[in-house]
Amino acid sequence: MKRRTLFALPVISLALLLTACGGSSSNSSSSGNSSSSSQEKTTEVYTTKVTSIKVMPDDSDWKITGTTDAPDGAKIAVTQLSDDPLDMENSCEGIDGEDGTGNASWPKVKNGKFTALVDPIELVDDPDNYTKVGYTQKAAVVAISNYSKSWPDGLTSKAAKAINKANPKTVKFTLSSSQVKYIDSLDDDDSSDKSSSSSSSSSSSSSSKTKNYRTDVSYDSLARDPKTYKGEYLQYTGEVMQVLEDDSYTDLRIAVNGNYDDVLYVELDNSILHGKRILEDDLVTVKGVSAGIISYKATSGTKISIPGLEATEITDSGTAPDDYGE
């Protein structure tokens, strides 16, 4: 009996030791998983303030800029709000592939600011509406942090629910005549050549670069009947009276043919300047889409309304001759 008792003691002790070690290991593992789980970051939705919405030259996209309290790296999403998360899709992308690959990617927050391109076809998502000049679509513009999905994956149902829960204010996106014309031109290209998507894309790109800009519309005609020419591709030459610049856009007031009574307001994206600047007194030839009448306030507080042009091309010939316009 003693011999059996003595023999059993180390076995029991060994069993107890193994149980203790196993329990300790299990508890340690559980503790580690709990710690890892607690460190996982949850997706958060931040509201934004859109400060500018402009139509890109030779394209149908809206270019938006804005500010937000979201941290650096948060992804910007633009979507219609819906009670059904499955109906909510992202309609924006970064500028020239912000992921460094040149491919479409999420626009991201940097130093509290962001810039994004919004596709009207994706946002409106209805052929009966995205071919109507002046049609307005409301959409939420939000920033999403700790969101790991790539741009092609879009918004998950969980992310869409989080956006709805944040209850963001919506922004109005209004279709311009140049956007509708561009979208119509895509339809024309598709119907004329359906052999392949690449040939259609090439045709569309070629079409946008070979537009015929009218030179027969006088300033007087444009000023008197702006509705008739709104959306038309026009060309004017004149002397720069004033330059207003920011990081993304440049606005000019031009004296057409040197006549300071015939002032044209020109809006252009800085991308078409290729790093150069337009200066006052320069002689320029500008091509673009008639924007109807542009109104602004003079320093005296007086409201001034003049014809406007959304520039797609500009040629700067340097300082205008002293006798230009005489």
Q: Which of 209, 231, 262 is the last residue of a domain?
A: 209
Residue 22 counted as domain residue: no
Task: State whether 233 and 282 are in the same domain.
Answer: yes
Burial environment of residue 123 by CB neighbours within 10 A (0 to 12, 13 to 18, 19 or more): buried
Q: What pLDDT is attached to residue 257?
A: 96
- Per-residue pLDDT of 108-146, as tens digits, reads 999 999 999 999 888 987 777 777 888 889 999 999 999
Q: How many CA atoms lie within 13 A of 202 on its CB side?
A: 7
| Whether 171 and 287 share a structural domain | no
> For 155-189, how does the pLDDT look when each residue is reduced to its tens digit (9 = 90+)?
998 999 999 999 999 999 988 878 888 777 776 55
Residue with tokens 């939705």: 45
Residue 324 lies in a domain: no
- 117 shares a domain with 59: yes
Tokens 């956007």 sit at which residue?
179
- 53 and 163 fall within a common domain: yes
Q: Which of the pair, 142 or 302, is modelled with greater confidence?
A: 142
Closest CA to 272 of 105, 94, 102, 59: 59
> Are 190 and 229 part of one and the same domain?
no
Positions of E strands within 146-280: 170-174, 233-245, 249-256, 263-269
Give the total residue count for the chain: 326
Report the number of distinct structural domains present in the chain: 3
Residue 263 to residue 223: CA distance in whole angstroms: 10
* Rounded average pLDDT over 8-26: 43
Other CB atoms within a 10 A radius of the CB of residue 159 amount to 23
Q: Does the residue 17 lie in any domain?
A: no
Residue 43: pLDDT above 80? yes
Half-sphere exposure of 217 (CA within 13 A, CB side): 23
Say yes or no: 186 and 169 in one domain. no
Alpha-carbon Rg for the chain in angstroms: 30
Residues 223, 258 within the same domain: yes
Domain check: are 243 and 301 in the same one? Answer: yes
Q: Where in the sequence is the domain holding 252, given as residue range(s)?
A: 219-319
Which tokens belong to 54? 């402009």
Same domain, 67 and 146: yes
